[in-house]
Structure 1
Amino acid sequence: MTEPDYLTTTRADYDGGAARTEPDHLTTTRADYDGGAALYTEFIGEAFLASPLHIAMFPVFAELVRASGGGLVADVGCGPGHVTAHLHGLGVTAFGMDLSPEMIKIARAAHPELRFEVGLMSAMEVEDGSLAGVLSNYSIIHTPPERLPETFAEFRRVLAPGGHALVAFQAHDHPSEVAEAFDHKMSPAYRYSPDRVAGMLLDAGLVEVARLVVAPGEDPNRGFPQAHLLTRRVTTT
């Protein structure tokens, strides 16, 4: 796979948190999460566990990873590490990756027994086919729709054949539209059509295994659906 120049650049430079050239949405998202890291950490852990529906797919994902022989799982957009730690508690060998150096500092301090690194989910420092799973828990929402295909292609690249990816995101009910912008607390964000995202994932070589769409009224903080798509890397391409 031939990568755009900015992806190669960020892979080389990213551990310091400042790439030479990158898309504006990455610069904005990093700055917003760096600036709000402490405040975000205060509420996100409690919010994560507040609804059983929002974590219902995690045990299934973990069991599929274990059933396929186990292996390393990347929690991309890991924030302060609460989800990485949750996966660890489910018996998964997980590490966290995030765009924000401040988030990674917090994650390392809170969970010193786990691995965390600064990085891009669209350009991971991971060998081809080396991961048993990828979890993207509400981390694609800051990615513009035209950038999703390269992100999903990266998920497919790093997954071993038969490996699983679980992608969760704020959703909408208009399949004719890929995305709708909404006012996120931290940074500009998008709600995505579950059907359109599933189609993009399939185009990248990730076939849908199951989905969970949480109804709008079940989330006290947001008045719209929440989608969870569980996929598997196809072995024929």
Structure 2
Amino acid sequence: MLPDASFEAPTDRGMIEAFVQHVFEGTARPVVDAGCGTGRMTRLLASLGVAVSGIDLSAGMIAVARGTSPELSFEVADLSELPYADMQLGGVFAWYSMIHSLPGDLPRIFSEFFRVLAPGGHALLSFQVGEGHRHLSRAYGHDVSMESHLFTPEVIAGLLAGAGFIVIAQLTRQARPHETTPQAVLLAHRPANED
């Protein structure tokens, strides 16, 4: 249903392009698409010249990503236990992936994002704005059973700060006709000088 990044709003694309520019100007290290699903955004980042790989908890999603984009690297992994060394990456891209994590798990996830980023590295996170959770039983024309969580930008910014990040840009936009909530994108970085 979402084969590529053409679904994304122009303002969201602007934040993605800002993230890519920061990665290019920063550490010149690779990026992980954390919670990549079928790899549609991984492909977008690669098309923009980013050295990117994808991880997802779902083996089925990773199988689709590998079949669709065999030239890219995809691995089954948990957001709270990233398969990277300390300070290995220049960017962490979490496009609507943390919405499937319990709110109590986010401090550990954001600490992992911080751990794997080199000083000066950047993280981009997107999510639906609100509070609480919602259960979907039907989506994209299929019967499903899926929980997702809503967050305010202030909550996410506070959790990122608690992990050591500095939020440098925030976008909150109104819902488009096919969306039920406002959407947010936060761009944060691990300080280059950590004194």
Do both share a fold (TM > 0.5)?
A: yes
- Structure 1 regions of 5+ residues with no counterpart? 1-42, 173-178
Give yes or no for the alignment of 1:151 onto 2:109.
yes
The separation in 1 between residues aligned to 2:177 and 2:6, in whole angstroms, is: 12
The separation in 1 between residues aligned to 2:128 and 2:8, in whole angstroms, is: 16
The separation in 1 between residues aligned to 2:150 and 2:187, in whole angstroms, is: 18
Give yes or no for the alignment of 1:233 onto 2:190.
yes
Q: Paired residue for 2:37, among 68, 75, 79? A: 79
Q: Which has the higher helix share?
A: 1
Q: Which residue number corresponds to residue 173 of structure 2?
A: 214
The separation in 2 between residues aligned to 1:144 and 1:61, in whole angstroms, is: 25
Deviation string, structure 1 residues 89-134 (Cα, Å, up to 9, x no partner): 1111000000000111110111111100000111011000000000
Match of 1:141, SS state, is: helix
Runs of 4+ in 1 over 6 A off after TM superposition: none
Structure 2 counterpart of 1:180, one-letter code: G
Larger Rg: 1 or 2?
1
Q: Paired residue for 1:61, among 16, 19, 30? A: 19
- Contact (CA 8 Å) 2:33, 2:93: kept in 1 or not? yes
* Structure 1 residues 42-121: aligned runs within 5 Å: 43-45=1-3, 48-121=6-79
Q: Paired residue for 2:95, among 137, 145, 148? A: 137
Q: Which residue number corresponds to residue 160 of structure 1?
A: 118
Match of 1:202, SS state, is: helix
Deviation string, structure 1 residues 36-67 (Cα, Å, up to 9, x no partner): xxxxxxx1235753522232211110111001
**How does the TM-score come out when normalised to structure 2?**
0.91
Structure 2 counterpart of 1:232, one-letter code: H
Aligned residue-pair number: 187
Q: Pick closer, same or farther for the CA change 1:128–1:196 going to 2, 3 Å.
A: same
Match of 2:125, SS state, is: strand
Q: Paired residue for 2:147, among 184, 188, 199? A: 188
Match of 1:108, SS state, is: helix
Q: Which residue number corresponds to residue 83 of structure 2?
A: 125
- Contact (CA 8 Å) 1:48, 1:54: kept in 2 or not? no
The separation in 1 between residues aligned to 2:187 and 2:3, in whole angstroms, is: 22
RMSD: 1.5
Q: Which has the higher strand share?
A: 2
The Cα of 1:69 is off from its aligned counterpart by 4.0
Match of 2:37, SS state, is: coil
Structure 2 counterpart of 1:181, one-letter code: H
Deviation string, structure 1 residues 158-178 (Cα, Å, up to 9, x no partner): 000010000100112xxxxxx
The Cα of 1:183 is off from its aligned counterpart by 3.1
The Cα of 1:202 is off from its aligned counterpart by 0.5
